A and B are shown apart, each in its own frame.
Chain A
Amino acid sequence: MIEVSGVTKAYGDKNVVNNISFKVEEGETLVLLGTSGCGKTTTLKMLNSLIEPTNGVVKIDKKDITSEDPTQLRRKIGYVIQDIGLFPHYTVEQNIAVVPRLLKWDKAQIKKRSEELLEVLGLSSSWMKRFPNELSGGQQQRVGIARALIADPPVILMDEPFGALDPITRKQIRDEFKNIEAFISKTIVLVTHDVVEAVELGDKICLLHDGAIVQMGTPKDLIFSPKNDFVKRFFDNQRFMIELMVMTLEDMIPVLESRNDQKPEKLQFTKETSLFNALECVEESVENDIAIEIVNENKKPMISTDREALLRAFYGTKDILSKNRATA
Chain B
Amino acid sequence: MIDSLRGVIAFMIDNQEEIWKQTLEHLWITVVALGVAVIVGLLLGVIISRYERLAGPVIGTVGIFQIIPSIALLGFMIPFLGIGVVPAIVALFLYGLLPIVRNTFTGINSVKPSIKEAARGMGMSNTQILTRVELPLAMPVIFAGIRTAFVINVGVATLCALIAAGGLGEFIFRGIALNNVNMIFAGAIPAAILAIFFDALLGTIQKYIKQLIKPVLITVILGIFIIVPYFFVQSMAERSFRGGFPSEFMQRADGYEGLEKLYNLDMETVELEIGLMYQAVKNKDVDVISGFSTDGRIKAYNLRNLIDDKHYFPPYYAAPMVRGATLRKYPELNEVFERIAGKISDEQMAKMNYEVDQNKKAPKAVAKAYLNEIGLKTDVQLDGDPVIVVGSKNFTENFILAEMFAYLIENYANLKVELKLGFGGTKLNIDALANGDIDLYPEYTGTGLLVLINPREEIRKSIIDDKDKVYDFVKEESRKQYDFEWLQPLGFNNTFALMMREEHARQLNIQSISDLSKYLENL
- The one of B112, B117, B125, B136 in contact with A50, judged by C-beta atoms closer than 8 angstroms, is B117
A88 to B114, CA, bound (A): 12
Within 8 A of B (CB), among A87-138: 87-89, 98-99, 102
B119 interface residue (CB < 8 Å to A): yes
Q: Whose C-beta in chain B lies nearest to the C-beta of A98?
A: B122
Does B123 contact A73, Cβ atoms closer than 8 Å? Answer: yes
A72 to B122, CA, bound (A): 9
A10 to B324, CA, bound (A): 86
- The one of A71, A81, A98 in contact with B114, judged by C-beta atoms closer than 8 angstroms, is A81
B137 interface residue (CB < 8 Å to A): yes
Q: A89-B136, A89-B137, A102-B128 given as contacts; is B123 within 8 A of A74 (CB)?
A: yes
A85 interface residue (CB < 8 Å to B): yes
Tell me how far the C-beta of B472 lies from the nearest C-beta in chain A, rounded to whole angstroms: 79
A81 to B115, CA, bound (A): 10
Task: List, in ascending order, chain A residues with CB within 8 A of B115's CB.
Answer: 85-88
Tell me how far the C-beta of A211 lies from the nearest C-beta in chain B, rounded to whole angstroms: 21
Does B119 contact A87, Cβ atoms closer than 8 Å? Answer: yes
- The one of A48, A77, A83, A88 in contact with B137, judged by C-beta atoms closer than 8 angstroms, is A88
Q: Whose C-beta in chain B lies nearest to the C-beta of A103?
A: B123
Q: Whose C-beta in chain B lies nearest to the C-beta of A82?
A: B114
B217 interface residue (CB < 8 Å to A): no
Does B122 contact A50, Cβ atoms closer than 8 Å? Answer: no
Task: List, in ascending order, chain B residues with CB within 8 A of A50's CB.
Answer: 117, 120-121
Does A85 contact B114, Cβ atoms closer than 8 Å? Answer: yes
Q: A81-B114, A85-B115, A87-B115 given as contacts; is B121 within 8 A of A71 (CB)?
A: no
Q: Whose C-beta in chain B lies nearest to the C-beta of A75?
A: B123
A81 to B114, CA, bound (A): 8
Does B124 contact A102, Cβ atoms closer than 8 Å? Answer: yes
B118 interface residue (CB < 8 Å to A): yes
Tell me how far the C-beta of B209 lies from the nearest C-beta in chain A, rounded to whole angstroms: 11
Task: List, in ascending order, chain B residues with CB within 8 A of A98's CB.
Answer: 119, 122, 124
Q: Whose C-beta in chain A lies nearest to the C-beta of B139?
A: A89
B133 interface residue (CB < 8 Å to A): yes
A157 to B120, CA, bound (A): 13
A85 to B122, CA, bound (A): 11
Task: List, in ascending order, chain B residues with CB within 8 A of A74's CB.
Answer: 120-123
- The one of B117, B122, B136, B137 in contact with A75, judged by C-beta atoms closer than 8 angstroms, is B122
Does A83 contact B114, Cβ atoms closer than 8 Å? Answer: yes
Task: List, in ascending order, chain A residues with CB within 8 A of B136's CB.
Answer: 89
A98 to B123, CA, bound (A): 9
A218 to B123, CA, bound (A): 32
Tell me how far the C-beta of A126 lies from the nearest C-beta in chain B, rounded to whole angstroms: 23
Task: List, in ascending order, chain A residues with CB within 8 A of B125's CB.
Answer: 71
Tell me how far the C-beta of B337 lies from the nearest C-beta in chain A, rounded to whole angstroms: 73
Q: Whose C-beta in chain A lies nearest to the C-beta of B128?
A: A102
Task: List, in ascending order, chain B residues with CB within 8 A of A82's CB.
Answer: 114
Task: List, in ascending order, chain B residues with CB within 8 A of A147's CB.
Answer: 122
Task: List, in ascending order, chain A residues with CB within 8 A of B124's CB.
Answer: 71, 98, 102
Does B118 contact A85, Cβ atoms closer than 8 Å? Answer: yes
Within 8 A of B (CB), among A51-97: 71-77, 79, 81-89
A73 to B124, CA, bound (A): 10
A102 to B119, CA, bound (A): 11
Does B118 contact A81, Cβ atoms closer than 8 Å? Answer: yes
Q: What per-residue 1/0 map shows which CB atoms of B91-133 lie under 8 Å from chain A?
A: 0000000000000000000001011011111111100100001
Task: List, in ascending order, chain A residues with CB within 8 A of B133's CB.
Answer: 87
Tell me how far the C-beta of B432 lies from the nearest C-beta in chain A, rounded to whole angstroms: 57
Tell me how far the C-beta of A139 lies from the nearest C-beta in chain B, rounded to whole angstroms: 17
Does A99 contact B122, Cβ atoms closer than 8 Å? Answer: yes
Does B117 contact A81, Cβ atoms closer than 8 Å? Answer: yes
Does B123 contact A72, Cβ atoms closer than 8 Å? Answer: yes
A48 to B128, CA, bound (A): 18
A79 to B116, CA, bound (A): 13
A83 to B112, CA, bound (A): 10
Task: List, in ascending order, chain B residues with CB within 8 A of A85's CB.
Answer: 112, 114-115, 117-119, 121
A104 to B114, CA, bound (A): 24
Does B137 contact A79, Cβ atoms closer than 8 Å? Answer: no
A84 to B136, CA, bound (A): 19
- The one of B114, B117, B118, B123 in contact with A102, judged by C-beta atoms closer than 8 angstroms, is B123
Task: List, in ascending order, chain A residues with CB within 8 A of B120's CB.
Answer: 50, 74
- The one of A75, A77, A79 in contact with B118, judged by C-beta atoms closer than 8 angstroms, is A79
Does A79 contact B114, Cβ atoms closer than 8 Å? Answer: no
Does B123 contact A71, Cβ atoms closer than 8 Å? Answer: yes
Task: List, in ascending order, chain B residues with CB within 8 A of A86's CB.
Answer: 115, 118
Tell me how far the C-beta of A76 lies from the nearest C-beta in chain B, rounded to whole angstroms: 8
Tell me how far the C-beta of A4 lies from the nearest C-beta in chain B, rounded to whole angstroms: 18
Within 8 A of A (CB), among B132-154: 133, 136-137
A76 to B122, CA, bound (A): 9
Tell me how far the C-beta of B124 lies from the nearest C-beta in chain A, rounded to whole angstroms: 7
Task: List, in ascending order, chain B residues with CB within 8 A of A71's CB.
Answer: 123-125
Tell me how far the C-beta of B143 lies from the nearest C-beta in chain A, rounded to whole angstroms: 14
Tell me how far the C-beta of A93 lies from the nearest C-beta in chain B, rounded to whole angstroms: 15
A99 to B124, CA, bound (A): 8
Task: List, in ascending order, chain B residues with CB within 8 A of A48's CB.
Answer: 121
- The one of A72, A79, A87, A88 in contact with B121, judged by C-beta atoms closer than 8 angstroms, is A79
Tell me how far the C-beta of A147 lies from the nearest C-beta in chain B, rounded to whole angstroms: 7
Task: List, in ascending order, chain A residues with CB within 8 A of B128's CB.
Answer: 102
Q: Whose C-beta in chain B lies nearest to the C-beta of A99?
A: B122
Candidate in A74, A77, A84 with the most chain B CB atoms within 10 angstroms:
A74
Q: What per-residue 1/0 map shows which CB atoms of B223-235 lie under 8 Å from chain A?
A: 0000000000000
Within 8 A of A (CB), among B158-196: none
Task: List, in ascending order, chain A residues with CB within 8 A of B117's CB.
Answer: 50, 81, 85
Task: List, in ascending order, chain A residues with CB within 8 A of B119's CB.
Answer: 85, 87, 98
A278 to B128, CA, bound (A): 50
A87 to B128, CA, bound (A): 13
Tell me how far the C-beta of A189 lies from the nearest C-beta in chain B, rounded to whole angstroms: 13
Within 8 A of B (CB), among A243-264: none
Tell me how far the C-beta of B465 lies from the nearest C-beta in chain A, rounded to whole angstroms: 78
Task: List, in ascending order, chain B residues with CB within 8 A of A75's CB.
Answer: 122-123
Tell me how far the C-beta of B123 lies from the nearest C-beta in chain A, rounded to whole angstroms: 3
A263 to B115, CA, bound (A): 58
Task: List, in ascending order, chain B residues with CB within 8 A of A76's CB.
Answer: 123
A261 to B220, CA, bound (A): 88
Candidate in B114, B119, B122, B137 with the most chain A CB atoms within 10 angstroms:
B122
Tell me how far the C-beta of B382 lies from the nearest C-beta in chain A, rounded to whole angstroms: 66
Within 8 A of B (CB), among A211-245: none
Q: Known contacts A83-B114, A89-B137; can you find 16 more A-B pairs with CB under 8 A?
A: A50-B117, A50-B120, A72-B123, A74-B121, A81-B117, A83-B112, A84-B114, A84-B118, A85-B112, A85-B114, A85-B115, A85-B118, A87-B137, A98-B119, A99-B123, A102-B122
Q: Which 9 A-B pairs have the closest CB atoms?
A: A85-B118, A83-B114, A75-B123, A74-B123, A79-B121, A85-B114, A71-B125, A71-B123, A89-B136
| 16 A-B pairs (CB sep. < 8 Å) | A72-B123, A73-B123, A74-B121, A77-B123, A81-B118, A82-B114, A83-B112, A85-B112, A85-B118, A85-B121, A86-B115, A86-B118, A87-B115, A88-B115, A102-B123, A147-B122
Which residues of A line the B interface, CB within 8 A?
Answer: 48, 50, 71-77, 79, 81-89, 98-99, 102, 147, 157
